[in-house]
A and B are shown apart, each in its own frame.
Chain A
Amino acid sequence: MRNDPRGGQSGRGGQVDRDEGEVRARTPGQRGEVYYSEDPRDVGWVRENIPCQTACPAGTNIPGYIRAIIEKHYGGSYEINREANVLPGILGRICSRPCEDVCRHGWPGNGEPVNICHLKRAASDLKSAGHRITESLYTPSGKTVAIVGAGPAGIAAAHDLSLLGHDVTMFERERDPGGMLSYGIPEFRLPRDILKVELHNALRLGVELKTGIAVGKGEGEVPLSRLLADFDAVLLSTGCMAAIPLPLRGEKKGRQGEDPVRTTPGVEYGLDFLVEHHRGEKKTVGRRVAVVGAGFTALDCARVAKRLGGEEITIHIRTTEKYIPVTKDEIFEAKREGAKIVGLRSPVGLITDESGALTGVRFVQNRLGGWREGGRRQAIAIEGSEFVEPCDTLLVAIGQKTVNDYLDVELGLDRWGNAEVGEGGMTSVEGLFAAGDYVSGAATVIEAVGHGRQVALGLDTWLMGRVRRKEVVRIEPVEGPLRERAFDFIPRQEMPTAALAERFQEPDREVETGLGEDLAFEEAKRCYLCNLKYEIDVDNCIYCRACIEVAPKNCIKLVEGIEIKADGTYGDLAEAHDWDHVEAIWIDNNECIRCGACFMVCPTRCISISRNEIVVRDV
């Protein structure tokens, strides 16, 4: 810890228009102009103080698009989304919402997180029918890129690469693009008209989409080596389209090399079940359906099975509901539709009748073990605690993995079979890049979109021989507070849903019906707009303490020093406990809920507000 040598919060570092090392006791608000900064303190401020944007794998400017909803600029809000995530209407429905887990409004004492995801959807739903998309196009580069796999990562990369002026050709083995979006996620969660429009918009800038064409080594398939020869670069985004086998033990191991899940009537992998269902194949389930698994695929299997006539649907999970990686809303809706979730059990065997058909699943009871990555828990089997649950259909959805048998080039893979890539997304093969689940293993759609964009930038840099786009912080003075203290007491507005009876009468009917304008407005007002930075110019402060008196939180502090981290960003504040040690008065933006009370009460107008946003600019 040391004192901030710049004499207070107003001393901002890193404006591109300042002299090296100069410290200015002047705030952006006073200066009255927009400027861009690469200073690590400004970048660090955004990373630390806008937790939702930092948590979003695509880096979506969430306060920005929510503010646009408050202003009823729905098209503008959609465009802000689209700058980071080319599929807002889709992600506004099916995102895993890592942003909401860290939303400042959800921190202890602040209430419930903002319904960020559904506001994204609101922007998409409420924009005018004639809304026109805005894209900034680069001149043609003359470079060609092939993308294998038209899932979310491939789509996001294709969009960005085409904007950057490259000729992109996509190869997709299925009839339609979208990958898991088209073939994994049920229509009642993601209507296909929304999907088609956003996929079309993502690819309309000259991307050549070749569907029904498989890249591989088989007859009629296009070898990867040929793509590498024909194109300047190739991007693999083939996702994780193989189910992880069920590790059974006991009486039903099957003949050598035989997977009992594939050979036992009534048993199926959840991924295959969903893909075949969405290809239009007729799927059936028994009266009692057991689903094994704890992710979105498992829940989707359960809900589809219910719509196909399953009467008793039970989702069996290894740990407990608290630790499964799906949103609370999805759990609630699955239960509402009649699915039961039972925890602390792992399947160890299949029970069949004389004909070989499934009659039950043998489970072993678990207890919770240590922690895993991502806040999940290990499950430890309790030996001797086996029991049988009768069922007619078993859907196994315990995870997905990559498929690599299509490769005719030698590619560096990790021990899970995922592609190993360098910083820019290039694999061990020169000119061959990889993105999305094919690199990370099975993850979420927003992670795939974020990674697709990131690799597109890396690929562009490699193709062009220089960095052409770079993230900087855009800092804009703001006249006054943009929200009222009363907004903090608005309860979270939940997504309206279709009545249960209607869901089963029309199995594809969208369950979540949309927030609508009024609910969206109320919900948007709840956002703290964490991109607003409140600062005190200590040179003008008379230490009257009026701001401290009106602050609803412990957000304005008298300090004797501020930690400055190795990268130049600010760390912890050392609060002064007696007046003789006060070096500055400081707004703790972590505690600040942007209510504006301090700004309104300040007699010397020494508090300024600026909007700080990460933007991508040309280098």
Chain B
Amino acid sequence: MIADVGIVFGRVMFVMMFVLNLGGLLTWVERKQSAIMQDRIGANRASILGLRLFGLFHPLADAIKMLAKEDFRPARADRFLFSLAPFVSVFFALVAFASIPFGNVLHAAGREIPLQAVTLNVGVLYVFAMLSLGVYGVMMAGWSSGNNFALLGGQRAAALMISAEIAIGASIIGVIMVYGSLDLQSIARAQGQLLWGWIPKWGILTQPLAFVLFLTAGIASTKRIPFDTPEGESEIIGYFVEYSGMKFGMFAMADFLETIVVAGMTTALFLGGWQVPYLVAGGFQFPWGATLALPPLVVTLLQVGSFVTKVVVMIFFLMLIRWTLPRFRYDQAMRLGWLALFPLSIANIVLTGLVLLVTRPA
């Protein structure tokens, strides 16, 4: 009994710590990666006892600064909702990662431990439900600030979220059709099969169009450049103008957490989840006949490592996009969502259905 509770606690804590620490680290990654892309050095001055560690202490210094700042609340703001909004934003971004599997099953002490914080048979729907609920925090922030510019920013966020959410929902239907499940763990397992005996059946190969559509809509749902019309800190003023200190930091944190969730979802749906090519339960089985037996613990560690590596690579790619593309105008983002992503997703569903009808025996 106690062991069961401990196992559940451990699973949840692993995911929680992974997401939270990665989220904190992303503030550093963003500054350093953008600097290296732009021939700069980036933040490197924060030091503890002369130890600089490539500026790794900057997230710490930022957190201390934000906690020590004045917590400003406008006189006409709704007191309760104004304080609640950043928490809602961060909460839904944090819990969204829960049903993404980070490994297959761990066999330990006669138990089968699923490597997933929560085993849900509708995991895909759960993640997107949580991701889209995050926009309530943003709308709350825009409305409760008592500032018209913030209200307009919140309205832009809601409009962007709806157009992105529709495209996300429609683009993953192709993946669900191919793997025949809404459970992220069984989707990840199904991606371990081989096409024609030697190509891993990853989502990016079976659903390349859906991959592009999902990634575009996913970036839009994180509210970062090129889809940052809700925020637009320096020019058009976003929903969090009136926020200061750690409440502002929580909105920034929510964006990073959403980036991690989108990277995790892309990994789970399109990059094979925790799969390592040709790695099955007993070790490697290469298509040319060679085998390499491995103990179960090593297999599990390889799978978790593979998942973490894929998520980190996806985050690198998302950051690369964020620091390369200019911002879409509001009407351009809307047109992209409704007139390009959505019809293409529908076309992808029809196309997938036709291909499945031809290739799969009835």
Q: Do they bind each other?
A: no
Q: Which residues of A contact B (CB under 8 A)?
A: none
Q: Which residues of B contact A (CB under 8 A)?
A: none
